[in-house]
Amino acid sequence: MFESAELGHKLTKKVYKKELPALREALLDAQLDLLQSKKFPVIILLAGVDCAGKGETMNLLHEWMDPRHIESHALRELTDEERDRPPMWRYWRDLPPTGKIGIFIGSWYSAPLVDNVHGRTKNAELDQQLDRIIRFETMLCNEGALILKFWLHLSEKQQKKQLKKLESDPKTRWRINESDWKNFKMYDRFRTVSERMLRNTSSPQAPWTIVEGADAQYRSLTIGKAILESLRHRLDAPEAPKVEEPLPPMLTSIDGLQILQTLDLTQKISKNDYKKELETLQGRLNRLSRHKNFDKISVVAVFEGNDAAGKGGSIRRITQALDARSYRIIPVAAPTEEERAQPYMWRFWRHLPRRSRVAIFDRSWYGRVLVERVEGFCSHADWMRAYGEINDFEEQLVRNRTVMLKFWLSISKEEQLKRFKEREKIGFKRFKITEEDWRNREKWEQYEQAVCDMIDRTSTEIAPWTLVEANDKGHARIKVLKTACDRIEQALNKQ
Amino acid sequence: MFESAELGHKLTKKVYKKELPALREALLDAQLDLLQSKKFPVIILLAGVDCAGKGETMNLLHEWMDPRHIESHALRELTDEERDRPPMWRYWRDLPPTGKIGIFIGSWYSAPLVDNVHGRTKNAELDQQLDRIIRFETMLCNEGALILKFWLHLSEKQQKKQLKKLESDPKTRWRINESDWKNFKMYDRFRTVSERMLRNTSSPQAPWTIVEGADAQYRSLTIGKAILESLRHRLDAPEAPKVEEPLPPMLTSIDGLQILQTLDLTQKISKNDYKKELETLQGRLNRLSRHKNFDKISVVAVFEGNDAAGKGGSIRRITQALDARSYRIIPVAAPTEEERAQPYMWRFWRHLPRRSRVAIFDRSWYGRVLVERVEGFCSHADWMRAYGEINDFEEQLVRNRTVMLKFWLSISKEEQLKRFKEREKIGFKRFKITEEDWRNREKWEQYEQAVCDMIDRTSTEIAPWTLVEANDKGHARIKVLKTACDRIEQALNKQ
């Protein structure tokens, strides 16, 4: 894999100097086109062997292009705000918006590589991590990002030479320390693991480009040209009318039996029992939120349901039991301008809670496979891939010791009609029924199908859906509270 | 000051229960009006004596209103991302956007109060801190915020009773610890300092409301009603046509002599000297950026200047000397939707660098007193108050060990014409001269006046303007670099 990058590629100063001006001009032009068209974001990864020129390349790119529209990120110590969230949170924070270029040294590849080289992970674990990376990058590409991944390579001999050269020059001596030499002694191990990593994560959409790093002129011009070519290719591509790929249809059960139909919506609780249970459960939830292990976990609760199913009321029964300082409710509305310039999931990542905090999403990322699917706001392929992306997202949360609660509040079509009419009678504007509510109702069956598919595809062992029979508000609230208590208690006991 | 809050105010449960439903209804209504009109943000501060009911009140407000549109913040340990910035950064992060309500327990008042009570600050220092708070709140009010400040008071006897009551109940015992009793022993001291603080920070726009905290019913209903009244008052105020207050005119020097005229724009440097000096200074800047004390400071550089004065070129000569990982250039463009929902300075606060980082603003907060003033994008009062707000902002940066560099790049009207024409000749779109550039040029004298006023009012000892004669690009770049080196070196030596 690295053979071609050990051939001793070189470029004379003369050739370099001759070719550079045109390249810079063209890069600057491409960058401006990108900025003005805001067609997509560009993510450039610079990885590779120590001393192969990652930092120099980053600096050069800043010099060649307009540095005002490049955002650079280097590996550094995690801040405590980052340590509280899933490992990928820091990268989500740093994603460039459409029209901009983000350059990463020390990206999501660093930890998996180093951990395996030093024996902290087995190969199976590494492969698992790499698999997650592929899924992450595939998502970015599907969202429109252009990902360019460069691996700067040096042969063992070349690396030794570079280390010595940097060490002997007083201007660069500060860059070399003992750990560099220690790493150098593990050259073979690094090489083996790197190769495995590159092989497994070179996808058609985001392939690795291996560049020999020894000769600065060759290296710089190679990378510059590769970036230019990729940029131009995407910028100049004609805006083809988006053709929906013919995806296989989702199968519906041939006997018409669906999960939602199995719910017994007649379940009820008496007013008295409701009062008693409510008090007990709210007391229990409050005590749990003050448990000594509560600062080791975080809680993310998602509320979805039919219109008028009582999401707000259920949420309030939870928050009443919590200290207002510990929770935040995120009502999911139309995305802001800054959110629209990012991948779909970005608007949810930014609201992830710190440890010991509770985030309650009133509607959520499931909008993609519910309203956006039914109303045709996104393409078939977009909502089909959302199932997998959502599962990946929730898996990361759970691995980070987040209790993931997902409630679907279900009412019958008749009950909804009754509630709509009641709301119309009450003059209060906050209960105003909009035309949209009535329109959605006409698509009841389509929504029902979408809900069933959602449950089938995203109710996982680590992040199960709780289906809540909500024709009786009391019953629904008690079930929500009890589920929350049980799941949180379970998590606290595991810490 | 606290006399009226020690009278033993009480409300029977009966009265409370009778009045509550209407209050809640009305509060919810007002909140919805606020949300829909997006007229202004609401900032509620809950401060006061321990155990006087701050947390309970916060929880109640969440219960009474729609908690999805309330953001609550409580005093907690600073995160390391916050510790790197000026103390007020954390509060700027947490400001609610227009249409939303932000509730703070433990606000910008906490540290000044506690530090003085425990003798860590003298009274003069406290007064200075309070003065800064007043300026901050005045700015918020001028930007449209509604600030409601509640001080929950308990007499010494009442506090003792509350502490004992909480301690004896197993449900609340966890809330009381030794430090509460320690604080209680300093009751008189707390009372004295609190009084001084309240007196000094009760402004007509944001007065304190002192509420006796002993009786929960009285306390809750009082605060609820006060919030409702203030909300309704602002919401229902007729949209009066904004009348410009007659402000005194800015005086111009009667002999016509202005600071910009004193610049010798003929200053030049030969190509050879430029090359030599550039290399020396970039080397020096690079070494400074690797100085052992560099992680104790941060650098904020502002570039302003006539159109075509060469800001971009000067910025690049700085960044060429720095590692791309250590700086960020912030091109100031039209504010985003999220930025427009916040005070003017918010968009700059969000980009403040961490320690050991450099932030370069290509145009800046000075837009308010330059383009916005000349073009009439904001009112006379708005740009007049901006001078003070900017000085406050920069003072906070400098106090936080930020090296504040401000460059005005000045060219003559003739030189600008020459450059405009040159740019028109070069076909490159990135140098395209817009109609706007020509229009701005017609207002040359007005801009010149605005620049002179800006320098007179914001060139301070701690954050001086560097006026750069920029008819000769080489001279300008060298002056910028040299100033940056000198100022950074000075700061490093002081650490």
Q: Which residues in chain A touch residue B428, judged by CB atoms under 8 angstroms apart?
A: 25, 29
Interchain CB distance below 8 Å, B79 and A74: no
Q: Of B216, B236, B256, which marks where a domain is finished?
A: B236
Instruction: Return all residues near B260 (Cβ < 8 A) that are at least 6 apart.
Output: B410, B448, B451, B452, B467
Whether residue B269 is found in the same domain as residue B229: no
Whether residue B427 is found in the same domain as residue B478: yes
Instruction: Return all residues near B149 (Cβ < 8 A) that are at least 6 apart.
Output: B44, B45, B47, B206, B207, B208, B209
Poorest-pLDDT segment among A146-155, B143-152, B436-445: B436-445
Q: Of A236, A269, A287, which marks where a domain is finished?
A: A236
Tens of pLDDT along A241-290? 666 667 777 777 777 778 888 899 999 999 999 999 999 999 999 999 99
Interchain CB distance below 8 Å, A67 and B331: no
Whether residue A224 is found in the same domain as residue A329: no
Tens of pLDDT along B291-333? 999 999 999 999 999 999 999 999 999 999 999 889 999 999 8
Interchain CB distance below 8 Å, A328 and B71: yes
Whether residue A206 is found in the same domain as residue A307: no
Residue A433's pLDDT is 76
Query: Which has more confidence, B204 or A45?
Result: A45
Tens of pLDDT along B69-91? 999 998 778 899 999 999 999 99
Would you say residue A191 has pLDDT above 70?
yes
CB pairs under 8 A between A and B: 108
**Cβ of B429 under 8 Å from any chain A Cβ?**
yes
**Cβ of A295 under 8 Å from any chain B Cβ?**
no
In percent, how much of chain B has pLDDT > 90?
79
Whether residue B304 is found in the same domain as residue B351: yes
Residue B237's pLDDT is 87
Q: What whole-number distance in Å separates Cα of residue B353 and Cα of residue B350?
A: 9
Q: How close is the nearest chain B Cα to the Cα of A183, in Å?
A: 22
Q: Which residues in chain B touch residue A314, judged by CB atoms under 8 angstroms apart?
A: none
Amino acid at B188: D
Q: Is residue A244 part of a domain?
A: no
**Cβ of A423 under 8 Å from any chain B Cβ?**
no
Interchain CB distance below 8 Å, A32 and B63: no
Return the HEC string of A434-487.
Answer: CHHHHHHHHCHHHHHHHHHHHHHHHCCCCCCEEEEECCCHHHHHHHHHHHHHHH
At B256, phi and psi to the nearest 5?
75, 0
Query: Which has more confidence, B254 or A204?
Result: A204
Residue B432's pLDDT is 67
**Tokens 């389509």, residue located:** A446
Q: What whole-number distance in Å separates Cα of residue A149 and Cα of residue A130?
A: 14
Q: Is residue A437 part of a domain?
A: yes
Span B160-182, average pLDDT: 86
Q: Is A243 helix (H, G, I), strand (E, B) or coil?
A: coil
Whether residue A345 is found in the same domain as residue A230: no
In percent, how much of chain A has pLDDT > 90?
80
The CA R_g of chain B, rounded to the nearest whole Å, is 27
Tens of pLDDT along B270-283? 999 999 999 999 99
Comparing alpha-carbon positions, the chain A residue that sits nearest to B30 is A430
Tens of pLDDT along A99-122? 999 999 989 999 999 999 999 999
Tens of pLDDT along B409-453? 999 999 999 999 888 877 555 566 788 888 889 999 999 999 999
Whether residue B219 is found in the same domain as residue B278: no
Read off the pLDDT band of B125 (50, 70, 90): very high
Span A380-394, average pLDDT: 93
Residue A430's pLDDT is 59
Return the HEC string of chain B.
Answer: CCHHHHCCCCCCHHHHHHHHHHHHHHHHHHHHHHHHHCCCCEEEEEEECCCCCHHHHHHHHHHHCCHHHEEEEECCCCCHHHHCCCCCHHHHHHCCCCCCEEEEECCCCHHHHHHHHCCCCCHHHHHHHHHHHHHHHHHHHHCCCEEEEEEEECCHHHHHHHHHHHHHCCCCHHHCCHHHHHHHHCHHHHHHHHHHHHHHHCCCCCCEEEEECCCHHHHHHHHHHHHHHHHHHHHHCCCCCCCCCCCCCCCCCCCCCCHHHHCCCCCCCCHHHHHHHHHHHHHHHHHHCCCCCHHHCEEEEEEEECCCCCHHHHHHHHHCCCCCCCEEEEECCCCCHHHHCCCCCHHHHCCCCCCCCEEEEECCHHHHHCHHHHCCCCCHHHHHHHHHHHHHHHHHHHHCCEEEEEEEEECCHHHHHHHHHHHHHCCCHHHCCCHHHHHHHHCHHHHHHHHHHHHHHHCCCCCCEEEEECCCHHHHHHHHHHHHHHHHHHHHHHC
Per the structure block, which two tokens stand in for A308? 């008028």
Q: Is residue A222 part of a domain?
A: yes
Amino acid at B460: T
Dihedral of alpha carbons B318, B324, B325, B330, sign = positive
Would you say residue A224 has pLDDT above 90?
yes
Read off the pLDDT band of B257 (50, 70, 90): confident
Nearest-CB residue to A68 (from B66, B73, B329): B329
Q: Is A361 helix (H, G, I), strand (E, B) or coil?
A: strand
Q: Is residue A248 part of a domain?
A: no
Amino acid at B341: A
Q: Is A158 helix (H, G, I), strand (E, B) or coil?
A: helix
Whether residue A195 is found in the same domain as residue A281: no
Q: Is A234 helix (H, G, I), strand (E, B) or coil?
A: helix
Interchain CB distance below 8 Å, A331 and B67: no
Q: What whole-number distance in Å separates Cα of residue B64 and Cα of residue B46?
A: 16
Q: Is residue B245 part of a domain?
A: no
Q: How close is the nearest chain A Cα to the Cα of B250, in Å?
A: 35
**Cβ of A317 under 8 Å from any chain B Cβ?**
no
Q: Is residue A149 part of a domain?
A: yes
Q: Of A201, A236, A271, which marks where a domain is finished?
A: A236
CB-CB contact of B73 with B48 (8 Å): no
Q: Is residue B252 part of a domain?
A: no
CB-CB contact of A88 with A130 (8 Å): no
DSSP structure class, residue A433: P
Would you say residue B341 has pLDDT above 70?
yes
Interchain CB distance below 8 Å, B59 and A323: yes
Nearest-CB residue to B79 (from A29, A74, A79): A79
Whether residue B232 is found in the same domain as residue B320: no
Q: Which residues in chain B touch residue A73, judged by CB atoms under 8 angstroms apart?
A: 325
Whether residue B232 is found in the same domain as residue B285: no
**Cβ of A58 under 8 Å from any chain B Cβ?**
yes
Span B228-237, average pLDDT: 94
Task: Give helix A187-201 / helix A178-185 axis angle, nearest 10°.
Answer: 70
Residue B70's pLDDT is 94
Closest listed residue to residue A148, CA positions, set A190, A194, A102, A108: A102
- Chain A contact probe: residue of B62, B356, B364 with most A CBs at under 10 A: B62
Read off the pLDDT band of B216 (50, 70, 90): very high
Q: State the CATH number of the domain containing residue A220.
A: 3.40.50.300
Whether residue B227 is found in the same domain as residue B288: no
**Cβ of A292 under 8 Å from any chain B Cβ?**
no
Q: What whole-number distance in Å separates Cα of residue A192 and Cα of residue B19?
A: 75
Whether residue B227 is found in the same domain as residue B301: no
Instruction: Return all residues near B251 (Cβ < 8 A) that are at least 6 apart.
Output: none
Tens of pLDDT along A395-420? 999 999 999 999 999 999 999 999 99
Nearest-CB residue to A429 (from B32, B67, B68): B32
In percent, how much of chain A has pLDDT > 70?
97
Residue A363's pLDDT is 96
Q: How close is the nearest chain B Cα to the Cα of A269, in Å?
A: 23
Q: A402 - beta bridge partners?
A: A298
CB-CB contact of A264 with A367 (8 Å): no
**Cβ of A429 under 8 Å from any chain B Cβ?**
yes
The domain total for chain A is 2
Residue range(s) defining the domain that contains residue A58: 3-236
Query: Which has more confidence, B217 or A433?
Result: B217
Closest listed residue to residue B472, CA positions, set B407, B412, B405, B408: B412
Alpha-carbon separation of residue A491 from A354, A355, A495 (angstroms): 16, 13, 7
**Cβ of B276 under 8 Å from any chain A Cβ?**
no
Q: Is residue B178 part of a domain?
A: yes
Nearest-CB residue to A55 (from B71, B72, B323): B323
Interchain CB distance below 8 Å, B336 and A331: no
Span A310-335, average pLDDT: 92
